[in-house]
Amino acid sequence: MASREDLIRAVDLAAAGNWDEAHKIAQRHEGDATADWLHAVLHKIEGDGDNARYWYRRTVHEYEDYPDPQAELAAVRASLAP
């Protein structure tokens, strides 16, 4: 299971435009539902729709659920609230 703090850090990094560092954290926690959702959003931000859709298939979320990746990052962060 991914640590909540790691994933919050990754979301904050992504929101600040540090895609690479956020991606490294998401990759470290592959298989965790929230990490996989974050991974999907990161590839959406990157513009790699096919890769994003691959990661979305590993979650309960859909590519089309959030047209705005920043809003989706906020939803990921909110899902990590205690």
pLDDT at residue 70 in the model: 95
pLDDT at residue 82 in the model: 80
pLDDT at residue 1 in the model: 56
Each residue's pLDDT, cut to its tens digit, for the chain (82 residues) gives 568 999 999 999 999 999 999 999 999 999 999 999 999 999 999 999 999 999 999 999 999 999 999 999 999 999 998 8
Domain boundaries, the chain: 4-79
pTM for the predicted model, two decimal places: 0.94
Buried b (16+ CB within 10 A) or exposed e, 68-79: ebeebbeebbee
Q: Which fold has domain 4-79?
A: 1.25.40
